[in-house]
Amino acid sequence: MPQITVDCSPGARSALDRRKFALALHHLVVDTVETRLEACKTRFRPAEETVVGDGGTDAPLVHVGIALLPGRSEEVKARLSQAVVDLLLEHLATAGGAPPHVSAEIRDLEPSYRKR
């Protein structure tokens, strides 16, 4: 915990320094939801085909999903999701081209979650 998944379009993968972003994201999560840094785990998944709107742009598209142990308030989750969007925009700002499409979702892990 936290389980972090980042889905990236081809344009986002070339525009985003994934390791640098993940390390910054881990610190952001620790500061926002009071977890341990060593508990943060991030996986990047390529989204090979993406279409936004009328399909007229190949703008970078990134979605970050963060699953946490239950107990955080909706306000904390909302604050974290906005901070993740802001962090993504900072990391994609140097890419140039079409403006990126970014989103974040914070959810609770299911009661069946186990780790070792």
Confidence of residue 116 (pLDDT cuts 50, 70, 90): confident
Contact 8, 44 (CB under 8 A): yes
Whether residue 17 has pLDDT greater than 80: yes
The residue-averaged pLDDT of 10-34 equals: 94
Contact 33, 19 (CB under 8 A): no
Whether residue 36 has pLDDT greater than 70: yes
Which residues are CB-neighbours of 50 under 8 A, at least 6 positions away? Answer: 9, 10, 61
Query: Helices (H) and strands (E) in the chain — how many of each?
Result: 3, 4
pLDDT at 96: 63
**How high is the mean pLDDT of the chain?**
92
The residue-averaged pLDDT of 29-50 equals: 94
Confidence of residue 51 (pLDDT cuts 50, 70, 90): confident
